[in-house]
Amino acid sequence: MKAEIIAVGTELLVGQIVNTNARYLSEELNAIGVDVYYHTVVGDNLERMKAAFETAHRRSDLVVVTGGLGPTQDDVTKEALAAFTGRSLLIHEPSLKKIEHYFTSRGIVMTENNVRQAHTLEHALVLPNDNGMAIGVALVHESTRWLLLPGPPREMQTMFANYARAWIMEQMGETTSLYSTTLKFSGIGESSIETELLDLIENQSDPTIAPYAKEGEVALRISTKAADREQAERKTAPVVAEIRARLGDYLYAERDIPIEQAVVELLQRTNRSVSVAESCTGGLLAELITSIPGCSQVFAGGIVSYSAKAKIEQLDVHPETIRMHGTVSAETAESMAKGCLRRFGTDFAMAVTGVAGPGEIEGKPPGTVFIAVADRSGARVYDLRLSGDREIIRMRAAKAVLYRLWERLRSQSEQEC
Ligand code: ATP
């Protein structure tokens, strides 16, 4: 099946937002064996949209369109497909009732334009929106399959995963479904993982192994087609076991969660607490931890000590340490972590100090970062040389110290077992 993705939205054309929907859909379609040949972006304009549909219809078996399903006048994707296919727009009554209920239950008067969000097309399948109001649409016109999905990524992804994927597979005549397991790694780069698993990746056919890198984390998705989850697990288990044997030191989860969630869960399980002392990450580490629900059981707080004065006054870093070694040094990182541990009285403290760039600090180039993890027995410091721009360096530094804490917690809990 040859597919094309059309993202609708003038914001995309003027560069206000990035077309992340196309990336997500390409990844998902490729995973189920659909080849994506084109990405198109078109503004919120009925005529240009119809022209884009005409082109897609000629060259693709499947066209996935995102955006323009909302209530406002510029949301005309359904109108454009109705005009192109010569089908009428209809109101899907159960969806309209859901939308009306949303407004009445909040005591808000529903404006007439919201009815548009319940529009479907003649002879189309309605795809429910579990995270919003605008419904999606699936239909076959002549020999082309069409899917209209909402623009907001959260709504689009849920609709794809819950309804659209199964519809595509049905259209492809698949009697099996695709099952995936995600393994998450930290403390190791994507290329090192690939090198370690080269033979498995090169000889893969079923299950397939696909690596995806994010800042400070790598995901490996192991996918297989099977009649049910049990059969899928039987097929993937030997591959997962082999990967675990080779890369177990870096494998922090066998599901798609960020390293901060693995750390919070491990702290909860072992009944331990943590605090943070941050310089170049400026609160990012605390932000990552507090994005995990339930972190209040284990996270005491943090200190953003950006200046040398703040490091001395807030974290008891000795002025002599800074004078001798600089604010970006192993000694300062160690002292920050120990000071943080004392101030908060937690079981662990993490510290980060470094040069996020673009300029040098104390003659040290961007990417020079020292991280430390302290507990009552002392502190361990790690010297990192990170690449990337300011934002990437800060994220990699935060993820690196989380990985070091996870490593420490895991080895302690293994010893206790
Ligand atoms: P709404 O009900 O919010 O109007 P919609 O289906 O009409 O939903 P759009 O109005 O096109 O969708 O987009 C809504 C928002 O969704 C955009 O402002 C943007 O934040 C996000 N969005 C839309 N398309 C994309 C895309 N291709 N990639 C990433 N984000 C997108």
Q: Return the DSSP state at 361.
A: B
Give me the pLDDT at residue 289, please: 98
User: Average pLDDT for residues 34-52, to the nearest whole number?
Assistant: 96
Q: What is the pLDDT of residues 367-406, one digit of tens each?
A: 999 999 999 999 999 999 999 999 999 999 999 999 999 9
Name the one residue in this structure whose structure tokens are 């943090």: 302
Q: What is the pLDDT of residues 320-369, one digit of tens each?
A: 999 999 999 999 999 999 999 999 999 999 999 999 999 999 999 999 99
Residue 131 CB less than 6 A away from ligand 1: no
- pLDDT of residue 58 exceeding 90, the answer is yes
- The neighbour count for residue 114, using CB atoms within 10 Å, is 18
What is the rounded distance in angstroms from the CA atom of residue 13 to the CA atom of residue 42? 7
Separation of CA 39 and ligand 1 centre (Å):
16
Q: Lowest-confidence range among 146-160, 192-206, 400-414? A: 192-206
User: Average pLDDT for residues 193-218, to the nearest whole number?
Assistant: 89
Separation of CA 41 and ligand 1 centre (Å):
12
Q: Which residues contact 33 (CB under 8 A, 6 or more apart)?
A: 1, 172
Q: Which of 133, 124, 138, 47 is nearest to 90 (CA)?
A: 124
- pLDDT of residue 414 exceeding 90, the answer is no
Domain ranges of the chain: 2-171, 177-253, 259-416
Cα dihedral sign, 210-211-214-218: positive
- The neighbour count for residue 118, using CB atoms within 10 Å, is 22
What is the rounded distance in angstroms from the CA atom of residue 48 to the CA atom of residue 51? 5
Give me the pLDDT at residue 227, please: 83
Q: Yes or no: is domain 177-253 CATH 2.70.98.10?
A: no
Residue nearest (by alpha carbon) to ligand 1 atom 8: 70
DSSP string across 323-345: HHH-SSSHHHHHHHHHHHHHHHT
Give me the pLDDT at residue 32, please: 84
What is the rounded distance in angstroms from the CA atom of residue 204 to the CA atom of residue 197? 10
- 201 band by pLDDT with thresholds 50, 70 and 90: confident
Residue 136 CB less than 6 A away from ligand 1: no
Give me the pLDDT at residue 85, please: 96
Residue 208 CB less than 6 A away from ligand 1: no
**Nearest atom, ligand 1, residue 41 CA:** 27
Q: Which of 122, 135, 131 is nearest to 95 (CA)?
A: 135
Fold classified for 259-416: Maf protein (3.90.950)
Residue 69 CB less than 6 A away from ligand 1: yes
**Nearest atom, ligand 1, residue 149 CA:** 6
Strand partners of residue 224 = 179
Q: Which residues contact 61 (CB under 8 A, 6 or more apart)?
A: 1, 2, 3, 143, 144, 145
Q: Lowest-confidence range among 91-100, 169-178, 215-224, 294-303? A: 169-178
Residue 151 CB less than 6 A away from ligand 1: yes
Give me the pLDDT at residue 415, please: 83
Separation of CA 24 and ligand 1 centre (Å):
14
What is the rounded distance in angstroms from the CA atom of residue 265 to the CA atom of residue 409? 11
Residue type, 255: R
**Nearest atom, ligand 1, residue 75 CA:** 7
Strand partners of residue 6 = 40, 65
Strand partners of residue 41 = 7
Where are the alpha helices (H) located in 121-258, listed in sequence order? 153-159, 165-171, 190-196, 198-202, 229-247
- The neighbour count for residue 104, using CB atoms within 10 Å, is 11
The CATH H-level (homologous superfamily) assignment of domain 2-171 is MoaB/Mog-like domain (3.40.980.10)
Omega prior to 153 cis, within 30 of 0: no
